[in-house]
Amino acid sequence: MFLMFVSSVWSACNPNTPCTCPKGLAQGEYCGGQLPGCNRVGSVFECSPQGDTCEFGPRDSCAQCGKLQCVINV
């Protein structure tokens, strides 16, 4: 069952995106606005240090504050 979950997570990341991660960037997830030249500021991307890029799609925090998590002041 665990393998099925991992498979479904990886299939959600689309490598066919016009945005590209710069080589040398740390492995991880980034909002589109954090990637040079990417106009999909409301989407989240997975980057590898080799420059591989895939797009997960829209994320509320990316659209709201340009980061994976927004700081809420109360």
Say if 72 falls within a structural domain: no
What is the C-alpha to C-alpha distance for residues 46 and 35, in angstroms, rounded to an integer?
11
With respect to residue 29, please indicate whether it lies within any of the assigned structural domains: yes
Q: pLDDT value at position 34?
A: 95
Kindly give the pairing relationship between strand 43-47 and strand 53-58: antiparallel
Confirm whether 73 is domain-assigned.
no
Count: domains in the chain: 1
Considering the domain boundaries, does residue 12 fall inside one? yes
pTM for the full predicted model: 0.79
Tens of pLDDT along 3-49?
333 333 445 899 999 999 999 999 999 999 999 999 999 999 999 99
Whether residue 27 is contained in a domain is answered as: yes
Domain that holds residue 49: 2-65
Would the pLDDT of 2 be above 80?
Answer: no
Q: The tokens 């980061």 sit on which residue? A: 67
